[in-house]
Structure formats: structure tokens, C-alpha cells
Structure 1
Amino acid sequence: MPNRTDAPARRFAWAGRSYLIQTGATVVSGLGNAGAPIATAFAVLAMGGGATGIGSVIAARLLATVLFLLLGGAVADRLPRHRVMVAANVGNALSQGVLAALVLSGSARLWEVVLLSAAGGVGQAFFTPAAEGVIMESVDQRQAPRAFALFRTAMNSSQIGGAALGGAMVAAVGPGWVLALDACCFAAAGALRLLLRAPAPAARPAGPGLLAELRDGWREFASRRWLWTVVVQYGVVNTCLIAAESVLGPIVADQRLGGARPWGLANAAMGVGLVLSGLLLVRRQPRRILLAGNVGMLLFALPAAALAAGAPLPVLAWAMFASGTGGTLFGVSWMIALQQEIPAAKFSRVAAYDWCGSVALAPVGTALAGPLAGGLGLSGALWACAGLMTLLSLLVLAVPEVRRLTRSPAIGTVGEVTATQAVPETATA
């Protein structure tokens, strides 16, 4: 009789050691990261910072990320990626640890929170391009859709517990302990990633330097209309999303919903949507990947609309759940498109341009969220965010390459199905 315990092992035989370590480390850091924005927002509110103060803190982190992303992508293509990730985790652990100590001591000032938030953004700029490259390298290309979906499901599962725990801890013991937990999670994730044995980049002949490689990455990025179109679109949508959910959302929660605990529960509902949709995508991925991804992006506007309408917590939770579902659909579809179309040797540089474009406008948007709410009112600013997100998610579908990009049966084979080729309507998955 076959051993039933062998079935899970056979089912996930494609998930090698590096993939499992990276996924586990991401879950650990995600537990802290989900609660940290809630804790930071309510720490700033306790200082009397208001919407403008929260926006300044978030803008500082995003601006630092934008300024260093391209350098982070080039470094990740030149050095062993797992070492770059470990160094970034250590830096984030230190910055969050100092911030936690200041908040717990009651001596934190707004400029210190802004400065430490910017330090965290620098770490994120080096971590993100390297992390996406490591996931690419750790699985067989044929298993990439399943691997991406399972990775995001595991990552988003940690968001559920992290958001709910973070909101409850802020309400029970204050934001400082949540920030301390985040610092410990960063340190633990860095320790796990020390166990990675990711392959170092191939030896490079003498010649082009860092700037030449950045120019090469730009050519790869700019030559694909579907790529830069969606990045520009997402850059604006992400700005509205961050302004609505990270700056204005905590204000609404504090004024109308009862504070940090219900806001944490609403964020946990988003995590449930992220996870359940991820479980579905483990088994089946859409054929027209960018078309499906933009359908998911349409759902991003629902939380802002619910907050603007003064919806009660259950309605807001359902809106957050739907937004989370759309987030996974877009995120998995986007990663499949990048993995399918971008050469592995240039992936981190292209990913850096992707991330740079995605967050370039966010510092401006978050910094202006407070003044916008002062001029239009909270509801008016939130309705503006919801309307702009919806409009852009529809407009981008006018680009033929976005509608037609089809998932290749042999995903990862660059050029087999390219974004510039017309994909017949009868093409099969």
C-alpha cells in the first residue's frame, strides 16, 4: 500500500530548498510588516500629526525607495541576490528597532519617524528587485505560475494574522510593541535567508559598467509597450490606493469606526481575499494574463468608495476582501507576464524600473493626501481616489498588447509568445 504521507511530497516536488526558504522568510517578515503601517499611522496620530503627518512619513519611505530602486536592481544583477536580501533585512530590522524604542519611550518626534521611515525605504529598494529574481531562479520555468500563486498565497496568509494582530496590539498595548515585533520579524527573515544557496550571477566580461547596465535595462523596459503602459497606469492607481488606505483610511477608522482594532480587522479581510484567490490561482491561471490582471485592478477602488460613503465595518470588510482578491489576480498575472517575457539575466534591472514607475508618484500623492482632504473633505478625497483608479483601469484596456498578451504553455521561454505579436482569439492556454 502506498504511503499517504508521500502524496504532499510528490505534489510539491517542484518546490526546492531555496523556494521553501524564501517563502518561509517572506511569511515571517510579512507577519510584522502587516501590522507596522497600522502602528506607524496611530503613533503619528498620537503625536498630533494628523493626515499630513501620516502622509509625510509614508512619502519619505516611498521617495527613498524610488531614489534607490534602480541602483538596487543593478546591484541585484551583479551580486548574489540572497546576500543583497539579507543586508536589506538587517537594515530594516535596525531602523524599525530604533523607531520602536523611540515610540515606546514616548520621546519620538515626527522628524525622527520620517527619517527612519526613509531608511526603511532604502532597504526596500535593494530588497525588492533581488527578491523577485530569487523566486525566478528557485523553480522550474514550467512550474512558475503555480510557484508564484503559492508564494503569494503564503505571503498574503501572513498578512491576515499580521494585520489583525497588529490592530489588536495597537489597541491593547500601543504601537511601539508592534514596531518592535516588526523589527524581530525582519531579523528572523534575514537569518533564514542566510541559509539560501542561490546561484551567483554568471561571470561578466570586462566592459560595460553599472550605468551601461542600467541603460540596457531601460531599453528592455521601454521596448515593450504593454510593460510601460501598465507600469504608468499602476503608478497612478498605487498612489491613490496608498493615499486612501494608508493615509486617509486610518483617519476614517479613528473618527468613525472605533480605532485601530476595527481597522486591523478590515485589513485582515483584505488578507483573506488575497489568500483565497491565491489558492484558486495555484490550480488555474487565466489565459489572457494582463486582461485578467486589469479586471482585478478594477476592484482596487472598492475600499476607497466604501470609506467615502461612510460604510459600516462589515461593508468595508467586504470591500477590502474584494480588493484583496483583485490584488492577487493582478499580482500573479503580472509576475507571470514578466517571467515569461523578460530575460532572466536582466530581470532585476527591469523589475527595478517596474517598481520605480509603480511608486514614483506615490510620495507626492501621500504628501498631498492631507491637504486634499482639507480642501475636499475626507469623503471628497476618497471619492476622487476611487474614481481615478476606476478610470485608469478601464483606459489601459485600450492598448492592444495589454488585451492580447497570452500565457505561454512553456512559460518562461522568452519570445515564444511576445507582447508585440497578435495573439489569435482561438489560441489555447
Structure 2
Amino acid sequence: MVHDTVRSPSVLRSTQFLRLWTATTASGIATWALPFVLGLAVLSRSLTAVELGILLAARTAGFLAAVPISGVLADRYARRQVVLWSGLISAAAAPVLAVFVGNSLVLAAIAAIAMGAGQGACRPAFSALTAEVVEPDQRQQANAAMTMSIRVTTLVAPGLTALLALVVNTQGLLLGIGALWLAAALMPPAGTGSVAPPSGAGFVTEFLDGVREARRHPWFLAGLGALSAVIATGYSATGVILPLVSRDRYGTEAVLAGALTAYTLGALAGAVLMARWRPRAAGWTGLFGLALYGFAPLVLLLPVHPVVVIAVYAIAGLGIDLFNVPWFTATQREVEPSKLARVSSLDFLMSYGLAPIGLALIAPAVTAYGAGAVLIACSVICFAAPALAALVPSSRDFGTPEKA
């Protein structure tokens, strides 16, 4: 049996949440837009493909370096202030990148590092701030609404950015990204959490305190392991091999575009569903959804009709937000509030940090063992990792079950 609907008042009636939602949406659009805009610069010959790769790698390095530091800062100081300074750093980096992109690769890379650092620094702080701004019984709605904004952005933004590129050059678009980061910095409301007195411990010690807090929750470690495995293998394999299958088996890029669009639409449907649905076994439901991604590499093995590929990607997208929404909600509910940002930073560091490693290893693996073997291995991991996580007793509900 499940709770069919959420009986609490809509979180969208909260001005504080709407301000937070607007800020996170602005940061999400800015995060998505940078690689797309830099890709347009390659098309206009302002950048080479190698320079694009260097700038994106620099941004990723800044992101990964800032995430654990931000987790400590957001637990040590007011989360609102950490969001403010994170957004301002990215906003300030945008005009620098606009000036030097195509002119000085070194200075442009430094600006990309700074922008990535601001992006990485805001993520744990936003997650912890959500727990302060939103009442416990409305957090699932709130997390679903934030996920929906990401999916809608992914659907709509490419076309809008391409249209803007007809009348605005790369520098103008980068300044627009800076304006989005400025909005992300200034819009969030003040949180209600009290700042703990300084412990006098160093950054490493405080971060390790967050790791110890994460270890207190077996469901968290199991779920994070499953998520990291799926991202490092399934996401990476389909990211590398799907374009090749679309070109070589079907002879058209339409299958690639259709699959990616279907994935986003499926994820959007999952977020809409989870805004209203509260399954009794929320953890098992989420892990089942995560395991659905195993069909994505599997379908690339088979000579099926393109519609089947697109349908499978829609199912995979549905599943990923069946996992994401209860995962974020449970983390905000179960983790000690004074350590929430550090635990969230560990989440982002492991799941997103392993993605570049997976992408880097997939191509050599395909060369060495063949695409078929790689896809089979990735599919098995995507099915097995959530199943193993589900064996952890507390994973059934991602911690203590919510009371009816």
C-alpha cells in the first residue's frame, strides 16, 4: 500500500521556497549553459575542440575541489552566506571568461576553474538550505519541484540558447551566464539553522566528521555506492556508445537526439510522479528506479527498432528521478542537521566525481574488449549495484520510515 497523495499544503505557496527554487533554477541553467555555449564557440571557430576540452576539464577540476570545502563551510557558517559567495565567484568569473575565451587559454582556464568552484561550492549549501527553508512534510514536493526545473531546462534551453546565438555572440552569452549566477547568489532566503560555534578543528578533520556521520547511515553508503556505480558505468557507456550506435547502426543522429529527449521527458515524468506519490518502501522504490538504467546499455546491444531504444531511455529517465527525489528527501531528513552539508558534499563528490573517470575509461575498454562486452558489463553493474544496496535493511525506507 502507498500514500497516493501528499496531504500537506503545496510548497509552492511558500515565498521562501519560491526564492530558493528560483535561485537553484538559475544556477542549474548557468551550469548547463556553459558547456553548450563553449560548444557554440567551437562551431563559430572561436575555440578549437582541444581548447574546449581543456576549459571543460578546468571547470570540472574547480567543481570537484570546491565541493568538500564547501561542505565544511556550509556546516560551519550560515548556508545562505555560502550560497551568496559561491554565486558571486561564478558571476565574477563569467566576464573574465568572456574576455579571454579565444584569446588566452591560460586565463580562460583560470576563469573556468573559478566558475566550476562556485558551482561546486553552492551544491551542498543549497541542499542544506532546503532542509532549513522547507518543512519536513513538504521536502519531497520541494525536491521534486527542483528536479522538474532541471529537466525543463534541459528540454527548453538548447533551442533558446541556439536562437540567442543568432543575435548574441559568445561573449554576450557568457555574460548572460554571469547574470544567472548573480541571481543565484542574491535570490535565496535566509535559513533558519543556527550556526554552531567554531570547533577549532581543521578542514580535513571536519570533513572526516561528515564522513563518520555518513557511515552512521548504512542505507546512505549503500545507495551512494549504487548511484556511483550506475553513473560511472551506465551513464558513461551510453554517453560514449549511444552516439556510435545511432550513427553506425541506424545511420542517423535522430536516434541519439530522440533517446536523450526521451530520457529527459521520462525523468520529468518521474519528478512529477514523486511530487505526489509517497511509496511505503521509498528506498526500495528508488533503488528499483535506479536499476532501470541497466536497460539503457542493454538495448544498445540489440538490433531493435529505434522506437524501442527511445522507449527504453524514457523508462531509464523515469527511474532516475524515482531515485533522486526520495534520496535527497531522506538525506535531509535522516542526517544530523549540523553535518548535512558535509554529507551532501560527499554525495556530490562520489557520484559526480566518478563520472569523468568512467568516461575516460570507457573508450579504451571498448577498444580492448569491444563495445558488446563493455555494454554487457555496464548493464550487469547497473542491475546488480542497486540490488545489492537493497539488501541493506535500512535501505527499504532510506532510514526511518516516515509516519503516516
For residues 264 and 18 of structure 1, do their structure 2 counterparts lie closer, same or farther at Cα, with a shift above 3 Å needed?
farther
For residues 223 and 250 of structure 1, do their structure 2 counterparts lie closer, same or farther at Cα, with a shift above 3 Å needed?
same
- 2:146 aligns to what? 151
Counterpart of 1:197 (choices 176, 184, 189) is: 189
Counterpart of 1:327 (choices 296, 320, 332) is: 320
Counterpart of 1:277 (choices 255, 270, 280) is: 270
Matched, 1:295 2:293: no
Q: Is the 8 A contact 1:31 1:182 kept in 2?
A: no
Cα RMSD (Å): 3.9
For residues 399 and 305 of structure 1, do their structure 2 counterparts lie closer, same or farther at Cα, with a shift above 3 Å needed?
same
What is the deviation of 1:37?
Answer: 4.7
Greater shift in the superposed pair: 335-344 or 325-334: 335-344
- What per-residue deviation string (whole Å, max 9, x for no partner) do you get for residues 204-244 of structure 1? 33543343432322221112211112212222221124423
Matched, 1:208 2:203: no
Matched, 1:88 2:86: yes
Which residue identity lines up with residue 119 of structure 2 in the other structure? Answer: Q
Matched, 1:140 2:132: no
Q: Is the 8 A contact 1:161 1:268 kept in 2?
A: no
For residues 351 and 336 of structure 1, do their structure 2 counterparts lie closer, same or farther at Cα, with a shift above 3 Å needed?
same
The unaligned stretches of length 5 or more in structure 1 are 1-9, 411-428
Which residue identity lines up with residue 190 of structure 2 in the other structure? Answer: A
- 1:425 aligns to what? none
- What per-residue deviation string (whole Å, max 9, x for no partner) do you get for residues 369-419 of structure 1? 232233234454344323322221222222222135466445xxxxxxxxx
Counterpart of 2:310 (choices 293, 310, 317) is: 317
Tell me how far apart the structure 2 counterparts of residues 314 and 169 of structure 1 sit (CA, whole Å): 29
Name the SS for the 2:278 alignment partner: coil
Name the SS for the 2:196 alignment partner: coil
- 1:400 aligns to what? 393
What is the deviation of 1:328?
Answer: 1.0
For residues 275 and 203 of structure 1, do their structure 2 counterparts lie closer, same or farther at Cα, with a shift above 3 Å needed?
closer
Matched, 1:233 2:216: no
Matched, 1:124 2:119: yes
Matched, 1:161 2:156: yes
- 2:3 aligns to what? none
What is the deviation of 1:131?
Answer: 0.8
The unaligned stretches of length 5 or more in structure 2 are 1-7
Q: Is the 8 A contact 1:21 1:193 kept in 2?
A: no
- What per-residue deviation string (whole Å, max 9, x for no partner) do you get for residues 305-362 of structure 1? 3445466654333222212211111011111211221122221011112222223433
Tell me how far apart the structure 2 counterparts of residues 184 and 378 of structure 1 sit (CA, whole Å): 40
Q: Is the 8 A contact 1:86 1:191 kept in 2?
A: no
Name the SS for the 1:401 alignment partner: helix
Counterpart of 2:176 (choices 184, 192, 201) is: 184
- What per-residue deviation string (whole Å, max 9, x for no partner) do you get for residues 262-284 of structure 1? 64553332221122222222222
For residues 57 and 342 of structure 1, do their structure 2 counterparts lie closer, same or farther at Cα, with a shift above 3 Å needed?
same
Name the SS for the 1:361 alignment partner: helix
TM-score with structure 1 setting the length: 0.76
Tell me how far apart the structure 1 counterparts of residues 62 and 184 of structure 2 sit (CA, whole Å): 26
Tell me how far apart the structure 2 counterparts of residues 311 and 64 of structure 1 sit (CA, whole Å): 41
